[in-house]
Amino acid sequence: MHVSLHIYMLRVRVCACVRMYACACCACAGNFLDGSIPKKSSQGSGGYPRFGALALEAQHFPDTVHHEGDPRWPSVVTRAGHLYRQSTAYRFYRYR
């Protein structure tokens, strides 16, 4: 199962395309940022502004564990000796 997202950053005219092999995606915005957390020296001076960050986390549906054995729900159980694999691909480009 794939999740695809397109995030447009209008001010800088950049689009981030994210494709995850997962059932769902949790998006955490930096709305709590207030400029008091300093940036790394390689990223310039000052702090991270409000909404200055976005974290995207691939995950399963929160209720999936309660539907184990139901063919309509993907399993979240990885048995001993079995491989768990999850991938996320990012693509960034500028647009006009």
Per-domain boundaries in the chain = 2-94
Mean pLDDT over each residue of the chain, to the nearest integer = 84
**81 pLDDT more than 90:** yes
Cβ neighbors of 77 (< 8 A, separation 6 or more) are: 65, 68
Is pTM beyond 0.75? Reply is no
Please give the pLDDT value at position 80. 94
Three-state DSSP string of 9-75:
ECCCCEEEEEEEECCEEEEEECCCCCCCCECCHHHCCCECCCCCCEEEEEECCCCHHHHCCCCCCCC
What average pLDDT does range 76-86 have in this prediction? 87
pLDDT tens for each residue of 1-47 = 677 888 888 888 889 898 988 888 888 888 888 888 887 766 677 78
